[in-house]
Every structure is written in C-alpha cells, then in structure tokens.
Chains A and B, each alone.
Chain A
Amino acid sequence: MSDPKTLSEKIWDAHVVHSEAGQPDLLYVDLHLVHEVTSAQAFEALRMAGRKVRRPDLTIATADHNVPTADRDKPWPDPLSIQQVDVLDANVGQFDLTYFGVNDVRQGIVHVIGPEQGLTQPGLTIVCGDSHTATHGALGALAIGIGTSEVEHVLATQTLPQARPKTMAVEVNGELAQGVVAKDVILSIIRTIGVSGGIGHVIEYRGDTIRSLSMEGRMTVCNMSIEGGARAGLVAPDDKTFAYLEGRPFAPKGQDWERALDYWRSLPTDDAAKFDKTVSLRAEDIEPSVTWGTTPAQSVNVTGHVPDPDSFADPGARELGWRSLRYMDLQPNTAIEDISLDRVFIGSCTNSRIEDLRSAASVVRGYKVSPKVSAMVVPGSGLVKAQAEAEGLDQIFLEAGFEWRDAGCSMCLGMNPDFLLAGERCASTSNRNFEGRQGPGGRTHLVSPQMAAAAAINGHFVDIRGWRRN
C-alpha cells in the first residue's frame, strides 16, 4: 500500500515529468485553455524563438474578456479590442488550434466552456492564463491560473515547472437554509480564511454541504479559490460529477468511459491522508452574504450592517476598512438592506451557468426591475444562452426589464464596452469587488444570482429568504 494521499497530491504525483531536489517539479499539462488577453505576447515570443505549439490537440482557445456582448455583428467600438481578437484569430490559425471564436455558438467564458464541453475532467491538470482557472476543480481536476510567460512555457513544452503546493481542507457540513447558495458558501469561506489565507495552498472543499451542491454550485465555490489566495481549489469527483460529464462532446465514450471511470474513482482523498491546514464551517451559520468593501473577504450577512472599522482589532484591517468605506461611499452601521443600487450584473465565470440563470429567473418572474436600476444578464456561453432561450428564461428577464446579452466576461472586469461609470453602485454576481474592477470609480457589491435579481427589482438589497416567488 502506498502512502495515503489527498486528491490534489494524487493528481500532482501522476503528472510529474521530472523532479530534482532544489527545483520545482516539472508537471505535465493535460489541458491548456487560451484566451485573447493573456496569450498574444506568448505566441509572439514563441514565434521569435522559432518554437511551435507542442500539443495543439491539448489546447483550446476562445475570445471572452474583450468582446462586446451586444451588437457584435456591427463594428466594435474599440479598435484595440478588434486588434486583440484579430491577433488571437491569426495565432490559432498559424498554430492550428481548436478555437471557439465569436461567431461559434460554443464561444463563451473560458471557465464555462471547459466543463460544458466535457473537456474538463477529473484527475486532469489544467492551466489557463487566468486566475479563476480553479473553477475546473469542481470536477476534480487540478486547475491552476498562470501568467503569460507560463502560457508561453506550456505552449512550447506542454509542461509547467511548479513548486509543490501545501494542502488545505475546507470542510463545510450541515444543511444550507432555503435561499442560501454556493455563492454565500464561498463568500463565507473567504470571510473566514481571509484574502491571503490560502497562499501557497491547494484547497480541497469537503463535507456534506459541498457534496450536496450541484456541479454548477461546486464551480461557483472553486471559482473563487483565488480570492482566498489559493493556488487552486477542488472537489472530489463523485456520481454527480460522472452524471454531469456523461455524453458531453469531449467526454470519453464507450470503453474509454469505463476506463476513465476506474481512474476517476481512484482519485478521492484517502481516509488516512493528512492536510497541512484544515478549516471548518457549519452550513447553518451561513446566510445570504453581501460584500461591503473592496476585497472579497469584506462581507456581511444581508440582514447585517456595514461594520465600523474602528471596532477592528488589527490596525491594518482598520486602515483598510476605512479606505474601503471611503471608496464605497458607505457609512459604518448602515443596514445592508438600506443600500440602494444603480446597476445589477448577473454573469461572469462565477455565476453565469444555466442553473444560475434559472434561479435568478425564478426570483424575477412576474416582477419589474426598479426604475432606478439598470440591470443586465450575460450568459456564460453561447450554449448557455441557447439553453436559457429554449426554456424561455430570456423572456422572463426581458419582460422584467433586464438586458439580455451575448456571452462573455462583460462587466466582470471593466475591459470591454460593459463597465460601471464612476460613482455607480452595482450588485454583481462576479468575483471581485476591487477598486475600479468593474470600471474606474465603480462600486461593486458581490452577491448570489438570486440576491442580485431581488436587488434589481427592489432597487436595494433584500433578504432573499423572505422573497415571494410569483
């Protein structure tokens, strides 16, 4: 019997190509996801060095960050965006990569399309030049965000030198109350461990609460691992994972499916394996959460109040708290439900999957968006959009006064035509409330899709637990 191992250690050890004392391990990469913003300089460097893409058959590209989500067939407003996507088009052509371009129905946010296509599978090593790559960990893959030089490295060698991370277990047990969802779970976890609590670690999310989440919910949780500072985050694959994957375009078929299943079933953490760090939360303590500040750890329950930074023991937290409140233009002790909003954004790789849209639509049905609010829904992929339209969700949103857009990162990052104006306050289902993240001077409050939907209708935050669905 070999030493007991955790899920992430099993995946790591199965991918070490070369290991030498005093050096990082050289890991093989099973799947490399490429997008327009972090790849141009990598392809250029490859060309300059006369190198090729080693494994085009393990690489896939899409355009998501910098694309408009409306009127795509008309000329795009920003020539630089056109250029960046044109450069990607040219690179995938030159290096012969599989590409879901803007006119492909499979185009979408890179972290939505991997699982959707069945490319994301348990036990894989996955990299992408994007910090939210951990999303793919929801299927039991070890998925790591990398920078552009590392993108170049993977393109050229299909490997990545990486220092072995430490392991961290985040255990959530118990039953979530009605209206409390995956987004609230991860916001509570980050509130508990802090924005740097996960540095140097891979988090495995465990416990019966995590097991009870749908695959989409697990993706929401894993997605925000980086907001706790973690290298990656994952959930052990189980029957739910296998049922999600079966029949997807790139999932194994026939005999391969059986062989893959055998491998996948061997992956979960051994009973006797030890984690370097363990954190536990009780599901009963988790409530619908809203961020009040400018880091994802600064959140409170919707029934709570904006905290008074003077009450924080740590001087650094106090100073940061006041800075955040000044930026957010909030006073201490304001009731969260009294905060009124200008914009609502439902989308991003955290919450733009079909389940997210269904749950937001179930809140919206039969209501109208507050006249003070401008609200939009941006599906995570062209296929999510098509599915939602087949279910009539687009009509529910449109009748309520939401805009219904094409797939992309949209207002998650203030790069494409969708962004907040200075001073605008937004309830957003995305993952970062940093200063200016959704546009210079914009103010972001992170919430779940249901909470965002209810806020759009009321013009301020409301506790979704008391919501009367039509």
Chain B
Amino acid sequence: MDPVTRIQGVALPLNRADVDTDQIIPAKYLKLVERTGFGRFLFDSWRKDESFVLNDPRYAGAQVLISGPNFGCGSSREHAPWALQDYGFRAVIAPSFADIFRNNCAKIGLLLVPLPQDEVDILLKRAEANPNTQVIVDLESQSVSVAGESWSLNFDVDPFVKHCLLNGLDDISLTLQHEADISAFEAQRPDFLPRTKVTA
C-alpha cells in the first residue's frame, strides 16, 4: 500500500444518505478476479442518468468525494473501495461510514474523513457552487481545508489506522510479528473446537 499523507484536488459533491455498496458497484461487475479496472463501473446505474454529478465534466479528475451519512453501507464487497480508488478518489468525506466499508478502506489506503453533518454541508455547498474548489485533506494534522483559505476543520482517525496509512504498512506483516503469540494461542485451544477436515 502506498503511504497516504496529503491529498489536494477537486471535490465531487454526492449529497445522498445511505449510499450502499450495491450503488457504488453493482453485483454484476463482481465477477472479475482482479483488483483493478473497477473504476469504469463506479456508480454504474446512477451514471446512466446524464445529470448525475459524476457525468459533470467540471468535476473531472476529482480526488475527494463528499457524501451523506452511513456511506458504504450494505454488502462487504471490497470492490466498492477498489472502484472508488480506481476511478481516482483518494479520500471520502461524510458524516459517518459503515463499519465493514471503513475497515476495507483502511486496508487499501482510501482515506475516510468523518466530519459533523453541518461541516459536511459547508463543503458540499462549496463544491456545488464552485467545482474548481480545491479541497485539501491532510492526514498528519487530521484537517480539511480549502486551498488559499486560512480556516480548517479537524477530523478523527483511529491512531493505528493513521500510523499504517502514513507509513503505507502492510498489516499482514505487522500481525506476523506476533507469530509467537499466535502459536501460543493455538497451543491452548481446546480440541473439542470444530475442524473442517475430518482426521482419521
């Protein structure tokens, strides 16, 4: 995973609550066995509507997505964050995120920025009013600002997630540093626990 530090770019306003992962990428596109190439199917159904904001050329190349509460609810499909990232988004700002989606994003380096609804509303209005607005998300200082302006908004991020994102850490390697703990745990597991393999 590439380190995530500071993101600056056009912000796409998607003012909807409960955007679920079936909307982010419909199931019919989950048949691919690769991790890349899902960006072209992002918001596939909504994109068929010409007035949908993703079709607005003024937001081309957007790196930040701003949306409503409970973003990423529904299916656990990691194809949803893959599609967002493949399309070019590097951060999503919303009042709240679904749990599995949040974990999935942390693993792939898509930065989630939770802000109170009134602050999200300010950013949505700015992005809607002026598509050239350059939104800056800085992970180190946990702040969101607009280029050329002096105010900033602070957001929460899990300290461990922050550490991993800033350093681009692979969490399997981190876990394997606890190999001794894992083996010790395995040694004391009771043997009445189920096995998927029937041993003679």
Contacts and interface: CB of A to CB of B under 8 A. Distances in A.
B196 A59 contact: yes
A260 B35 contact: no
Interface in A203-259: 226, 229, 231, 250-252, 256-257, 259
The 6 closest A-B pairs by CB, nearest first: A149-B107, A147-B104, A415-B27, A147-B78, A40-B33, A256-B192
Given A38-B78, A195-B70, A252-B192, 12 more contacts: A17-B182, A38-B77, A44-B35, A57-B195, A84-B31, A130-B76, A131-B74, A156-B175, A195-B18, A257-B192, A263-B192, A437-B22
Contacts of A231: 99
A432 B99 CA distance: 17
Contacts of A37: 30-31, 77
B168 interface: no
B151 interface: no
Contacts of A78: 31
Interface of A: 17-18, 22-24, 26, 28, 30-31, 37-38, 40-41, 44, 49, 51, 56-60, 65-66, 78, 80-81, 83-84, 87, 97-98, 118-119, 121, 124, 129-131, 145-150, 152-153, 156-159, 161, 163, 195-196, 199-200, 226, 229, 231, 250-252, 256-257, 259-260, 263, 295, 316, 319-320, 323, 413-415, 419, 432, 434-437, 440-441
Nearest to B75: A131
B31 A196 contact: no
Contacts of B26: 414, 436, 440
A139 to B, nearest CB: 12
A256 B191 contact: yes
Interface in B68-99: 68-70, 73-79, 81, 96, 98-99
Contact of B181 (A26, A149, A441): A26
B148 interface: no
28 contacts: A17-B185, A18-B181, A23-B160, A28-B189, A38-B78, A41-B78, A57-B196, A65-B27, A80-B32, A98-B197, A130-B76, A145-B100, A148-B79, A149-B107, A152-B172, A157-B182, A158-B182, A196-B70, A196-B98, A226-B100, A252-B192, A257-B192, A263-B190, A316-B69, A320-B17, A414-B26, A434-B22, A441-B45
Contacts of B23: 434-436
A115 to B, nearest CB: 12
A45 to B, nearest CB: 8
Contact of B194 (A118, A129, A159, A441): A118
B18 A320 contact: yes
A157 B33 contact: no
Contacts of B79: 148
Interface in B38-83: 44-45, 68-70, 73-79, 81
Contact of B108 (A18, A149, A157, A437): A149
Given A17-B178, A437-B22, A316 B68 contact: yes
B96 A432 contact: no
Given A84-B33, A145-B100, A435 B176 contact: no
Nearest to A123: B193
B149 interface: no
Contacts of B118: none
Contacts of A149: 78, 104, 107-108
B68 A163 contact: no
Nearest to B184: A17
A88 B170 CA distance: 25
A441 B99 CA distance: 27
Given A30-B193, A157-B172, A44 B104 contact: no
Contacts of B22: 413, 432, 434-437
Contact of A57 (B45, B98, B190, B197): B197
A147 B77 contact: yes
A98 B196 contact: yes
B138 interface: no
Given A44-B33, A129-B76, A196 B185 contact: no
A196 B70 CA distance: 6
B196 A145 contact: no
A161 B107 CA distance: 11
B171 interface: yes
Given A17-B178, A118-B194, A320-B18, A150 B98 contact: no
A157 B122 CA distance: 43
B171 A153 contact: yes
B171 A38 contact: no
A391 to B, nearest CB: 28
A198 B148 CA distance: 39
B77 A119 contact: no
Nearest to A129: B76
Given A80-B31, A437-B22, A58 B68 contact: no
A124 B196 CA distance: 14
B196 to A, nearest CB: 4
A130 B75 CA distance: 7
Q: Which of A78, A196, A414, A435 has the most CB of B within 10 A?
A: A196
B194 A121 contact: yes
A227 to B, nearest CB: 8
Interface string B85-127: 0000000000010111001100110000000000000000000
Contacts of A259: 190, 192
Contacts of B69: 196, 316
B100 A41 contact: no
Contacts of A159: 175, 178, 182
Given A145-B100, A146-B103, A415 B30 contact: yes
Contact of A199 (B35, B96, B190): B96
Contact of B172 (A40, A56, A130, A156): A156
